[in-house]
Amino acid sequence: TVIMHESHKSKYSIHPGSDKMYQDMKKLYWWPNMKANITTYVGKCLTYAKVKAEHQKPSGLLVQPKIPEWKWDNITMDFVTKLPKSSQGYDIIWVIVDRLTKSAIFTPIRETEPMDKLRSLQNALGTRLDVSTAYHPETNGQSERTIQTLEDMLRACAINFGKGWVNHLPLVKFSYDNNYHASIMAAPFEALYG
C-alpha cells in the first residue's frame, strides 16, 4: 500500500483515477490482481471522491479535428475564471494545450490584465485565432477536458496540502504532464520529449 499511496496521494501524482494510476504503475511494478487492487484503493480515497466532479458526456456526433503534424503546431487555449484571488492578485488560469502531445501550460493571470496582451502575442507569432463557444467539445473539447482535470487536481491540493492555488500550479502541471493519457497512450512528457 505504500507504493499505491505514493502513486496516488503524493504531491507529484495528485489523485489520478484508477486507469491512469494503473497505466503509470505497470511500467515499474507488477503483482497479482494489481489492477483490481488499484481500483479498490482509488475507490476508497475520500479526497478523490470529493474532488471528482461529475462531467457530462457530450451528446451528438463529433467532428474529428485534423491531427497536427508537429508538437505545438496546433494549440487550444481557454481560461479558468472566478477563482479565489491569490495573495499575488491572480484570479484566472490561462490554459494552453498542445493538441498533439496533450502537454499543457497553466499560467496564472489577473482579470485586470488586458486581453490586448493575448492579441499582441498572437500578432507577433503570426498565428490565427479561431474562437469557440463554451461547452462545445467539437470546437475546443481538449481545453475543456484539461480544465476539468486541472480543477479536480487543484481541489485535491486544497484538501491535502492547504490553501493557495497559485502555489500548487507547478505541481499540478507536473502531475498532469506526467500522468498517462488514454488518447495518446502515453504521458504528455513522454510524447513531447520521448
Over the stretch 139-167, which tens digit does the pLDDT of each residue have? 556 677 888 888 888 888 777 777 788 88
| DSSP 8-class letter at 166 | H
Average pLDDT over residues 59-73: 73
pLDDT, tens digit (0-9, with 9 covering 90-100), for 33-47: 999 999 999 888 888
Q: What is the pTM of this model?
A: 0.69
Candidates 174, 96, 84; CA nearest to 142 is 96
Instruction: Domain count for the chain, please give it.
Output: 1
Range of the domain at 135: 68-193
Q: Is residue 22 part of a domain?
A: no
Distance of CA 134 to the CA centre of its chain: 17
Candidates 27, 169, 46; CA nearest to 108 is 169
* Domain at 176, CATH number: 3.30.420.10
Average of per-residue pLDDT values in the chain = 81
Of residues 2 and 61, the one with the higher pLDDT is 2
